[in-house]
Amino acid sequence: MKPFTTYGLKCSKKDEKNLVFRINEYLASKSRTMSKAKNKSMLDSRLPFVFKHFYWNLNKGVGTWFELFPNEDIEGKYFNETHKDCGWILKTRLDLTHPLYEKNKTEKFLSDVLDSTEFEYIILEESDEDEE
């Protein structure tokens, strides 16, 4: 698993409620939850994509950050045009320098998050460096 990986979840944009419920159900087993970002500064940081909200989780216990957002924004722009069959995007970041980072434990956590969605997923992009 590369430090910066973007996954496409093969589901509908309308699957938001189930997707969020399933991920939060898994995270609850770790005494965690996703946060819902609705404030202007966080949303503006995603420009040129315009979202009403997105979800995120920071897990310092394993040195990860992930965010979940729709592939299609409210203006009809796709984050990933090639895979319109992916209704939702999960972007992950591994902090390889975090003192609690352990390769196997960290990768298992993110794999379990992805599996908890109960949707097929594909890797859309992966990199050793942040491209934003």
How far, in Å, CA of 126 to CA of 17, rounded?
27
* Predicted TM-score (pTM) of this structure: 0.94
- The parent domain of residue 15 ranges over 4-127
**Could you give the angle at the alpha carbon of 16 between the alpha carbons of 88 and 53, nearest 5°?**
80
Provide the mean pLDDT of the chain.
95
Each residue's pLDDT tens digit, 67-121: 999 999 999 999 999 999 999 999 999 999 888 889 999 999 999 999 999 999 9
Closest CA to 5 of 129, 131, 125, 132: 125
Beta carbons of 89 and 9 less than 8 angstroms apart: yes
Torsion of CA 83, 88, 93, 94, to 10 degrees: -100
Q: Nearest to residue 84, comparing CAs of 54, 44, 53, 124?
A: 124
Q: What confidence tier does 130 reach under pLDDT thresholds 50, 70, 90?
A: confident
Rounded average pLDDT over 50-63:
95
How many Cβ atoms from other residues are within 10 Å of residue 95's Cβ? Answer: 17
Residue 116 lies in a domain: yes
For residue 132, pLDDT over 80 is answered with no
CATH number for the domain that contains residue 30: 3.30.310
pLDDT score at 95:
92
Condensed to tens digits (0 to 9), the pLDDT of residues 1-15 reads: 899 999 999 999 999
For residue 132, tell me if it sits in a domain: no
Q: Is residue 63 part of a domain?
A: yes
Q: Which residues, other chains included, contact 37 with Cβ-Cβ below 8 Å and sequence gap of 6+?
A: 43, 53, 54, 55, 56, 67
What is the count of structural domains for the chain?
Answer: 1
| Domain assignment present for 103 | yes
pLDDT at residue 59, as a whole number? 93
